[in-house]
């Protein structure tokens, strides 16, 4: 695992590159919401691309971003991006199919458990519900069947989110200063 | 050899005095350390090493096989030892056989020392070895000798003594089997010691014996290092404790499930360390709650910050992009590196990002003493103490960063500005000087 410092540096570099791309792609004056969207999109893509596609959540972030704004993503991530995004879409389809199967199975398992022991099943359902919530929070988490995988991804996601927040806070403070002076 | 001799004598003298100090457990430990040190010195010297192994082989019964190996320097003394040892096959508490064992255990020492005529040392050993735990002390030197590379002091006396005592007999049997493959035997003893350290139980004997057998098989097959490493890999699964408690299932599926659950709980522990305020919570549901809250808060922070950035900047190019990329980024990177220097030592597996480091660097402005204190504590304490520091720093990281980052960046920015443009800032010299000194201190 890398140092958080190098992570921040890489993120900052990519983010600024992405911002420039966003800026150059839209010539007209943007509203504040558009700007915010662009900033967030570029930051998300940058933080996901620091992982180089090694983690599920980063791939999911990039895939989602590709769906919403393909041009920017392709420009930020370079020319070799389209093939990967297409393949990730393919993966997504496959995973969705498998998820349907798995979720129905897990529901069945859950039903059986509820019949078996009530108190234990209540706790388990609680944990299961929270796991679902966590899955919905971590990008790409809905495709993670394994709990271990989910937790590992969450760890990684938290680490990079913190880096992202730190760098963004730093940049916000700087720009505020500059604009204030 | 002559070069290593004085150090060796030094090291050997220390155990001698410890022996005079009635051979307590501590002396055994101390002697192990001394021996380890000595072996580090002596490691490069093949002749001496050879003699050492020769000396250990005396503990076996097969003296003839041992003596078929030529000794370049200490032949005559070795003959003398043979005379001494001849009828000796087991450890008895009577002093005279102990003395012989003393000479056995310190065979190499005796050889070298006698070469230089310093027989008084040997006398001293012989004179003071009247303790009954002598067998233990002599079980130590070969094993420690085997540990040329791995000089871990983890081999505490508690682990070592029963293991050594019990593997002593085994070793004798072993030497009978494979007295010619001395170097490989060395390897096997090393491995055995590792096994002992891992187990720390009294039932080591069975495992060590099996290990010995496998190792001996491998020795006879001829390969040394690669084979042994493979052997260690093969043997390693033996030491993953998947132990079923009373009433638990022992079939492979439930064992695997248990291992998986343990792994999950381990990762949850990492998450606990990572998520602030999650330390006190037990129970999976509560932890998941905390994690969810934290992730949500981070995501909201990202939203908020992007909104803030959008609001602050009338245009998207941030007005500083080129500057940030060209000029400020190197400086920022330098600042980051000062963070990174202190954070290198605290990398446990998953905790990449330490708010403590952040604090140490970012709060350097106003609480220099505190930060250095924290840094010191960090260097001293292992990553185990991370949760505690988390508790300390979580409150700090919430409050100061914006302001301090302000100051940092302001300073950086202003340095750049002073270099590039001629924009006057009134308050700059003050913060700049402080920050510069702080940076120097951190460097």
- The confidence score (pLDDT) of residue B201 equals 41
What structural domains and CATH numbers belong to chain B? 5-239 (no CATH), 243-312 (4.10.280), 315-442 (no CATH)
Is the pLDDT at B55 greater than 80? The verdict is no
The answer to whether the CB atoms of B343 and A5 lie below 8 A apart is yes
Output the CA–CA distances (angstroms, integers) from residue B83 to B58, B106, B303, in the order listed: 11, 16, 86
Nearest to B305 among A137, A162, A165 (CB): A165
Reported as a pLDDT band with limits 50, 70 and 90, residue B200 is very low
Mean pLDDT of A146-169: 86
- Longest CA span, chain A: 68
Reported as a pLDDT band with limits 50, 70 and 90, residue B290 is confident
Q: pLDDT digit string (tens) for B181-194?
A: 444 444 444 444 44
Is the pLDDT at A93 greater than 80? The verdict is no
Total-model pTM: 0.41
Return the percentage of chain A with pLDDT > 70, whole number. Answer: 70
- The confidence score (pLDDT) of residue A115 equals 62
- Range with top average pLDDT, B29-43, B57-71, B114-128, B258-272: B258-272
B350 CB within 8 Å of a chain A CB: yes
- Asked if A87 contacts A130 with a C-beta cutoff of 8 angstroms, the reply is no
Return the percentage of chain B with pLDDT > 90, whole number. Answer: 0
Return the percentage of chain B with pLDDT > 70, whole number. Answer: 16
The count of structural domains within chain A is 1
Inter-chain Cβ pairs, chain A and chain B, closer than 8 A? 185
The answer to whether the CB atoms of A12 and B332 lie below 8 A apart is yes
The answer to whether the CB atoms of B352 and A7 lie below 8 A apart is yes
- The confidence score (pLDDT) of residue B48 equals 44
Reported as a pLDDT band with limits 50, 70 and 90, residue A123 is confident
- Pairwise pLDDT comparison (A100 vs B385), residue with the higher score: A100
Nearest to A137 among B292, B312, B332 (CB): B292
- Asked if B179 contacts B65 with a C-beta cutoff of 8 angstroms, the reply is yes
Considering only CA atoms, which of A32, A20, A35, A150 is closest in space to residue A75? A20
* Contacts with B263 from chain A: Cβ below 8 Å: 148
Nearest to B336 among A2, A9, A33 (CB): A9
B311 CB within 8 Å of a chain A CB: yes
A126 CB within 8 Å of a chain B CB: yes
B398 CB within 8 Å of a chain A CB: no
Mean model confidence pLDDT for chain B? 49
Contacts 24+ apart (CB under 8 A), B119-126: B121/B9, B121/B12, B121/B13, B121/B16, B124/B16, B124/B19, B124/B20, B125/B16, B125/B19, B126/B99, B126/B102
Nearest to B291 among A154, A168, A179 (CB): A154
Nearest CA distance, B274 vs chain A (angstrom): 8
Burial of B41 (0-12, 13-18, 19+ CB in 10 A): middle
Q: pLDDT digit string (tens) for B94-147?
A: 444 444 444 444 433 333 333 343 334 444 444 444 443 333 333 334 433 334
Mean pLDDT of B348-376: 38
Is the pLDDT at B149 greater than 70? The verdict is no
Is the pLDDT at A129 greater than 80? The verdict is yes
Is the pLDDT at B245 greater than 50? The verdict is yes
d(CA B33, CA B324): 55
Mean pLDDT of B292-307: 88
Which A positions 36-65 lie with beta carbon below 8 A of chain B? Answer: 36, 38-40, 43-44
Mean pLDDT of B306-319: 72
d(CA A112, CA B219): 56
d(CA B150, CA B39): 11
Reported as a pLDDT band with limits 50, 70 and 90, residue B309 is confident
d(CA A35, CA A39): 6
* Contacts with A150 from chain B: Cβ below 8 Å: none
Q: pLDDT digit string (tens) for B207-230?
A: 444 444 444 444 444 444 444 444
B239 CB within 8 Å of a chain A CB: no
Query: What ipTM does this complex have?
Result: 0.74
Please, what is the end-to-end C-alpha distance for chain A in angstroms? Answer: 40
Stretch among A55-59, A166-170, B131-135, B256-260 having the lowest mean pLDDT: B131-135
Mean model confidence pLDDT for chain A? 75
B439 CB within 8 Å of a chain A CB: no
- The confidence score (pLDDT) of residue A59 equals 84
Q: Which helix (H) or strand (E) holds B264?
A: helix B252-274
Reported as a pLDDT band with limits 50, 70 and 90, residue B285 is confident
Mean pLDDT of B46-51: 43
- The confidence score (pLDDT) of residue B262 equals 86
- Pairwise pLDDT comparison (A95 vs B279), residue with the higher score: B279
Nearest to A130 among B292, B308, B353 (CB): B292
Is the pLDDT at B397 greater than 70? The verdict is no
Q: pLDDT digit string (tens) for A12-33?
A: 888 877 877 777 776 667 777 8
- Asked if B217 contacts B179 with a C-beta cutoff of 8 angstroms, the reply is no
Q: Which residue has the tokens 């080591």?
A: B204
- The confidence score (pLDDT) of residue A68 equals 75
DSSP helix/strand/coil, A121: helix
The answer to whether the CB atoms of A155 and B329 lie below 8 A apart is no
The answer to whether the CB atoms of B271 and A158 lie below 8 A apart is yes
Which B positions 244-263 lie with beta carbon below 8 A of chain A? Answer: 260, 263
Nearest to B321 among A20, A126, A130 (CB): A20
Nearest CA distance, B343 vs chain A (angstrom): 8
Nearest CA distance, A30 vs chain B (angstrom): 8
Domain that holds residue A67: 4-180
- Pairwise pLDDT comparison (A101 vs B430), residue with the higher score: A101
Question: Which DSSP state fits A31?
Answer: P
- Asked if A49 contacts A62 with a C-beta cutoff of 8 angstroms, the reply is yes
Mean pLDDT of B396-401: 38
A32 CB within 8 Å of a chain B CB: yes
């Amino acid at each position: 695992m890398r140092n958080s410092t190098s992570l921040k540096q890489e993120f900052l570099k990519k983010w600024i590159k992405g911002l420039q791309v966003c800026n150059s792609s839209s010539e007209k004056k943007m509203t504040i919401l558009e700007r915010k969207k662009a900033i967030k999109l570029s930051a998300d893509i940058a933080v996901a691309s620091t992982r180089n596609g090694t983690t599920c959540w980063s791939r999911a972030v990039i895939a989602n971003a590709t769906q919403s704004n393909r041009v920017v993503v392709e420009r930020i991530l370079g020319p070799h991006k389209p093939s990967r995004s297409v393949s990730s879409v393919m993966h997504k389809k496959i995973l969705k199919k498998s998820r349907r199967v798995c979720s129905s199975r897990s529901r069945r398992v859950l039903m059986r458990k509820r019949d078996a022991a009530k108190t234990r099943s209540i706790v388990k359902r609680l944990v299961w519900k929270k796991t679902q919530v966590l899955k919905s929070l971590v990008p790409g988490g809905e495709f993670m069947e394994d709990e271990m995988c989910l937790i590992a991804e969450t760890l990684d996601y938290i680490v990079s989110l913190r880096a992202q927040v730190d760098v963004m806070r730093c940049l916000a403070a700087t720009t505020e200063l500059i604009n204030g002076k | 050899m002559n070069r290593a001799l004085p150090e060796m004598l030094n090291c050997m003298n220390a155990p001698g005095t410890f022996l005079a100090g009635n051979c307590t457990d501590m002396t055994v430990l101390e002697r192990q350390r001394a021996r380890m040190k000595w072996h580090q010195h002596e490691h490069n010297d093949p002749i001496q090493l050879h003699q050492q192994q020769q000396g250990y082989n005396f503990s076996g019964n097969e003296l003839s096989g041992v003596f078929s190996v030529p000794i370049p320097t200490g032949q005559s003394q070795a003959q003398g030892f043979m005379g001494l040892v001849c009828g000796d096959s087991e450890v008895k508490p009577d002093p005279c056989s102990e003395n012989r064992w003393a000479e056995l255990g310190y065979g190499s020492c005796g050889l070298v020392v006698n070469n230089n005529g310093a027989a008084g040392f040997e006398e001293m050993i012989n004179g003071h070895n009247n303790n009954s735990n002598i067998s233990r002390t002599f079980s130590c030197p070969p094993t420690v000798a085997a540990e040329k590379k791995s000089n871990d002091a983890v081999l505490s006396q508690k682990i070592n003594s029963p293991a050594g005592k019990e593997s002593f007999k085994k070793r004798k049997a072993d030497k009978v089997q494979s007295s010619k493959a001395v170097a490989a035997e060395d390897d096997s003893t090393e491995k055995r010691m590792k096994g002992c350290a891992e187990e720390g139980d009294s039932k080591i004997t069975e495992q060590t014996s099996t290990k010995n057998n496998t190792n001996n098989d491998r020795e006879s097959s001829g390969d040394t290092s690669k084979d042994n490493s493979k052997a260690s890999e093969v043997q390693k699964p033996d030491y993953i404790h998947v132990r079923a408690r009373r009433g638990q299932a022992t079939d492979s599926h439930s064992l695997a499930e248990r291992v998986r659950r343990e792994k999950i709980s381990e990762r949850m522990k990492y998450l606990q360390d990572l998520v602030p305020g999650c330390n006190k919570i037990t129970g999976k549901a509560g932890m998941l709650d905390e994690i969810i809250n934290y992730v949500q808060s981070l995501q909201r922070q990202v939203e908020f910050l992007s909104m803030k950035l959008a609001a602050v900047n009338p245009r998207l190019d941030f007005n500083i992009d080129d500057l940030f990329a060209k000029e400020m980024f190197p400086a920022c990177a330098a600042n980051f590196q000062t963070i990174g220097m202190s954070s290198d030592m605290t990398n446990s597996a998953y905790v990449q990002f330490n708010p403590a480091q952040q604090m140490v660097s970012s709060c350097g402005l106003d609480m220099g003493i505190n930060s250095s204190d924290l840094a010191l504590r960090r260097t001293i304490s292992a990553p185990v103490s991370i949760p505690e520091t988390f508790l300390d720093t979580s409150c700090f990281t919430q409050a100061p960063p914006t302001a301090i980052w302000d100051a940092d960046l302001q300073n950086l920015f202003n340095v750049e500005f002073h270099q590039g443009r001629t924009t006057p800032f009134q308050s700059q010299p003050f913060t700049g000087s402080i920050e510069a000194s702080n940076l120097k201190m951190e460097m």
